[in-house]
Structure 1
């Protein structure tokens, strides 16, 4: 497995930086020391640079400074720089005396310790630049990932559009075939195609025209009717400007509840009244249906009405009215919303 991918991540980038630092220090020491001694001390210096930088950006700065403990942060930085300076001087002196002194060991002096501490201060200042560079690289990487995800989402959207359109074309072909044999069946296929097109093209929109919503309801009613043995007596009054717009699927819950809970499939008498009335800048949708003799779950207690109420709150805050009630053997539902 290759260590570096086509685009290195933050870990790989940091390794690249430290390898680069190591070779910079190595080449700066080579004119004075041999390759072996230069390599060892270049490695020691690089390790201590990393300790100071990561000790600040990963531990002290986020845990102390960013949490408001500024005095403790300053004290901790001083301790870190003194400790790393002393330790670096001791290790460097020990390794030099053990492997490179050639019988002439040197004693620990204040000069090298001070120079190491001062160098540590400079590295500490560079740690903030290092931190900013890492943050920039991470932000750039996240931006590229977001762009890639957006591109993938657009591709998935195109794919999702191709599949429904293939289905619509197939339904159209079936419609023409069915029209020759059974015009009524062809009409139902056409309504099904319109409903599916509504879900794909219209329902994701913020608003749809009232005409589109009405057509959707009528298509749904026509398809539900074929599942019922006896005809349902349905009247749909529309006293409104169909060019107006409203959020999609607001009216569907009432109609769906009628066919789920308000139709007795074994009865020859089911009556449903629907009305859309526009008045004073508001739209009122009312449904009235007979209640079957057998026990049913009232729509007012169903999840459909509860979810509709939550959606209305998000859309209109408190500027809406939603009422459902039983009146003897009649179930009435009313929705009143403002028109844009």
Structure 2
């Protein structure tokens, strides 16, 4: 996605017009008993205004971009000297040369020393230089904040895509291992397993790339994954579901719940007598998902691996301070409990 600042050139021009309207009001307008009217402009008031505006934009368009690309103090000092000399030289040209040629008048008396001229113009030059610098820095700050927000968003999207890319092969790898075992032992469940794998691949291809999917789609994916395990173990009763879902149309990121189920299948020990317990409740306020399994005898159950680690990272990105993920071990049982707060 190409970066496009919210502060467009048109908006910047509009800000300049607003600035000059305000400047004219506070500089040239006179408020008295007769209302608001503009002070009469004599010749040297006009030349001063011209010098002011030209200096403002020379500093804004040329000096400041050079000074801050990249910023160095020596460049800042040099830029300040240059723009001041520009102001003094332009004013001298307009008021000590051009007006003499056109109207035979000049602003400063003949014989005015150069040191006094520079000293006197220090005060007059300060206003356009300070105002143009402040205006330019404000515009720069707005654009930097806008760009920083864009970069953070892009980093978030990039990290999420990377995490998804890690998760997808992990699920496929486990599933293919299961099917390989069935084919090797010539199990009649091999073809149904391939059908379930096809369902998983459809999810991976069409649903997983999306940022959010319906809760029902995630649950369908989990069911397909569990059915593959059932086919491999020839056991259809090692999972106990307890669900209270007001609506499965709530939108969640893909692969949000499945890593907890996969963790139980990978590290747990399960039978029909002591099944994996999956509890799910969901309403408008929160989603509550818990997976409980017996800890395997030969492999310690833990909240680890690519899928779970990625889940923790994604939760930090997608639901900062709006989720809890807790794991407990008690009496030989392992529990992973995820709560997401929608409000």
TM-score, with structure 1 as normaliser: 0.44
Q: Which structure has the larger Rg?
A: 1
TM-score, with structure 2 as normaliser: 0.44
